[in-house]
Amino acid sequence: MNQETEKEQRAAEVLRMMKTFALIGATQDMLKYSYELMFTLIDAGYKVYPINPRYVKIEEEKCYPSLTELPEEPEVVIMVLSPQNVERVVGEIRCPKPKLLWLPPGSWSEAAVKKARLLGMEVLYDVCPVGILRKIRKG
C-alpha cells in the first residue's frame, strides 16, 4: 500500500497549483541535481528562474544573480545548496518573500527550516520535487 506523507501531499499540491519557481543554486553541470531539477521543471511546463551569480545563462535559460533581479516574483523558491549555505542565504531573503521555500533532501537543516519559519515563510523540506513530479505524471 502506497501511503504519501503529509509533506509529499503538500509537495504534489504545490506542483499542481504553482507555476513559477526560482532555483537558487542552479548550475551548468549536467551531472548535478540542480541541473536535473531545473530541466525537469521546465520540461513539465513550469517557469523556472535559475539563480547563480556565476552564470549568465544555463543552456538557453537566462540566469539571474539574485532573487531581487528576477522580472517577476516566483511563487516558490527552491534552494539546492549545502545546508550551511541555505542557513546563511535564508536570512538574506527579504524581498520578495516567497509564498513557499522548498528545501530538497540534502539542502536543509533544522536551523534553516526554523530560520525561514521565523521570517514568515512556509517551508517544505526533505521532499524531492523531481520524485513528486514523476509520481504525478504516473497518475
What is the CATH topology of the domain spanning 6-138? Answer: Rossmann fold (3.40.50)
59-114 pLDDT, tens digit per residue, is 999 999 999 999 999 999 999 999 999 999 998 886 667 889 999 999 999 999 99
pLDDT at 17: 96
Arithmetic mean of pLDDT over the chain: 93
pLDDT at 96: 67
Q: Where are the domains of the chain?
A: 6-138
Q: Are 53 and 28 in contact (CB under 8 A)?
A: no
pLDDT at 3: 52
Mean pLDDT to the nearest integer, 26-34: 97
